[in-house]
Amino acid sequence: MRRDVVIVGGGVSGTFCAFEMHRAHPGVDIALFDSAADFGGRTASVDMGAARPLEGGASFVSSAHRLVLRLARELRLPMTEVRFRQVGLHLEADCAPPRGKQGLGDSALTGAALQHATLTKLAPQAVAAIAAADVAAAKRILRSAEMDGRALWRWPIGPLLERLWSPEQVRRARATHGCTSNFGAANAFDTLLTAAWEGAPGQSFYRFDDGAGNFGRTLAKASPGVLRFTHHRLIAIGRCADEFVLSFSTPAGLRHIKAGLVILALPRLALSRIAFGDDSVGAAFHHDLAQILDVPAFKLFLEFDRRWWDDLPFALGAGDLGAVFTQLAAQQNYFENAARRHWMLAVFADSENALYWRSLLEADGAASVTNGAPMGAAPAHLIAAAHRHLEIMYGRVPAPRCGVYADWSAGWHAWRAGARSWEVRERLVQPNSNLPLFICGELLAEHAGWMESALNNAEEMLERASAWLARPRARTFLPFINER
Ligand SMILES: Cc1cc2nc3c(=O)[nH]c(=O)nc-3n(C[C@H](O)[C@H](O)[C@H](O)COP(=O)(O)OP(=O)(O)OC[C@H]3O[C@@H](n4cnc5c(N)ncnc54)[C@H](O)[C@@H]3O)c2cc1C
């Protein structure tokens, strides 16, 4: 088989590329391949009879995510507003702020506030530029900002925060932030830049009524002219005459496909496992790829016979999502007051906390409950460990009936300390400037861990790919609203 364009990776980035490319160039023949049994990638919803599907991967979209919201409207995917409410915080004694030593007001001692205070301390002009929505200026200032004579992009964010704030402040900030990778090895430039956009005031949040997993799947089906293949794992790319030859491992054996132009919308680990031959990528490719860190992520949903959290000292209204953050490895609990079946998200963890839960799974092969996503029915000892955490936090908690986990080796990506991400990203998007092989997706997104930013990155890549096809495409690029 030969196609003008082959897209590999059917997460939201790859399916969006297929959708947009087909719309812009209906005469170009396009094929989309994914290794899993279905499209959607890191959006993976599973129906367990709860009021809404359990979200193993992405769950929320902000009002600033205009591209996702526009696509959802276009694809007629209903969304409902969700109100986050932090209803509790479980801190160990060493995390409580010592009297008179805060330096920040008590209310400011959250993770998001600490990131903002750090930015204000190190690059006040960047904060002013962000407030004035001058993104280009903010990035320029942040790229040259320094601490102790060392550029921010050279600093891992964890050591930088510990250099500026007391250990109690950093521990507490880490415990009150959804993402511990924002306090670890990732570089301070990218972490602070993303924190600034994430924390933009005045946002509201929405979720897909039928599950985020339906977003990627619907995008994939929205272009009937695009050939779609699941169960095709790309293992090698070479060149033959003026074309690419892609080798896929499939249940029926090895399959070779020829392509004029190739788009890889894959996570870092998948890219690192592909054999690139015949100079299809440049010499810097593997070194550049190694500048990206994989951030493991883990979710565990538990079902109970009754809504025991109704007895806790907080009340949830319809559409409220109550969050409790903890220093335990469970990291975050989420509660709702849904009437049908009583599920809660008992663990939402990343980095070493995610590895803590994975270690409990490693000895047990749990049955898959979705098509190809790393989700499964939780084994009893994993449920028991999470139940123990809940009892430490809340006192007596009834035993869960069952559980469902989602275990991602790279829930999202981050940039290593020492990586000039803006330069590496530019090289990786087209790793051999003489060949039409393009890379896009969340791994290159400016704001890691968000579908919107992954799609923004895919949009930018599509402009280059379309230029290569000598069919320039009208720009519909819609950056984060706070980036205009
Ligand atoms: C737990 C969790 C929570 C999140 N929460 C949110 C949220 O609330 N809001 C939000 O906007 N974002 C969230 N995200 C991030 C969001 O899910 C990602 O940014 C987005 O889904 C990435 O899409 P992608 O297409 O770039 O990559 P992926 O979704 O990873 O797609 C890559 C695809 O490539 C396929 N593949 C891999 N290897 C091969 C191969 N060799 N050959 C062929 N195919 C291959 C995979 O099966 C996959 O379908 C979350 C992610 C996780 C894990």
Residue type, 484: R
183-204 mean pLDDT = 90
In the predicted model, what is the mean pLDDT of the chain? Answer: 89
Q: What percent of the chain has pLDDT over 70?
A: 91
Report which secondary-structure segment, H or E, holds 261. Answer: strand 253-264
Domains of the chain: 2-42+212-291+417-479 (3.50.50.60), 93-198 (no CATH), 294-412 (3.90.660.10)
Does residue 97 surpass a pLDDT of 80?
A: no
Q: Are 123 and 145 in contact (CB under 8 A)?
A: yes
How many Å lie between the centroid of ligand 1 and the Cα of residue 264? 13
If you count DSSP H runs as helices and E runs as strands, how many of each does the chain have, helices first? 15, 21
For 220-279, write each residue's pLDDT tens digit: 999 889 999 999 999 999 999 889 999 999 999 999 999 999 999 999 999 999 999 988
pLDDT of residue 79: 97
How many Å lie between the centroid of ligand 1 and the Cα of residue 21? 20
More confident call, 294 vs 195: 294
- Give the distance from CA 94 to its chain's centroid: 31
Instruction: Please tell me what DSSP assigns to residue 400.
Output: P
pLDDT of residue 197: 82
In angstroms, the CA 288 to CA 331 distance is: 31
- Cβ of 60 closer than 6 Å to ligand 1, yes or no, is yes
Confidence of residue 96 (pLDDT cuts 50, 70, 90): low
Instruction: Check: pTM over 0.85? Answer yes or no.
Output: yes
Residue type, 354: A
Confidence of residue 480 (pLDDT cuts 50, 70, 90): very low
Does residue 189 surpass a pLDDT of 90?
A: yes
**255 bridge partner residues:** 248
In angstroms, the CA 19 to CA 455 distance is: 12
For 383-437, write each residue's pLDDT tens digit: 999 999 999 999 999 999 999 999 999 999 999 999 999 999 999 999 999 999 9
Confidence of residue 482 (pLDDT cuts 50, 70, 90): very low
Does residue 454 surpass a pLDDT of 90?
A: yes
Q: Are 54 and 45 in contact (CB under 8 A)?
A: yes
**Nearest atom within ligand 1 for CA of residue 299:** 1
More confident call, 171 vs 300: 300
CB neighbours of residue 104 within 10 Å: 16
For 312-352, write each residue's pLDDT tens digit: 988 898 889 999 999 899 999 999 988 778 999 999 999 99
How many Å lie between the centroid of ligand 1 and the Cα of residue 60? 14
Instruction: Please tell me what DSSP assigns to residue 470.
Output: T
Does residue 202 surpass a pLDDT of 60?
A: yes
Confidence of residue 156 (pLDDT cuts 50, 70, 90): very high
Instruction: Please tell me what DSSP assigns to residue 118.
Output: H
In angstroms, the CA 475 to CA 484 distance is: 15
Closest residue by Cα to atom 53, ligand 1, is 411
How many Å lie between the centroid of ligand 1 and the Cα of residue 311? 37
30 is written with which tokens? Answer: 């396009």
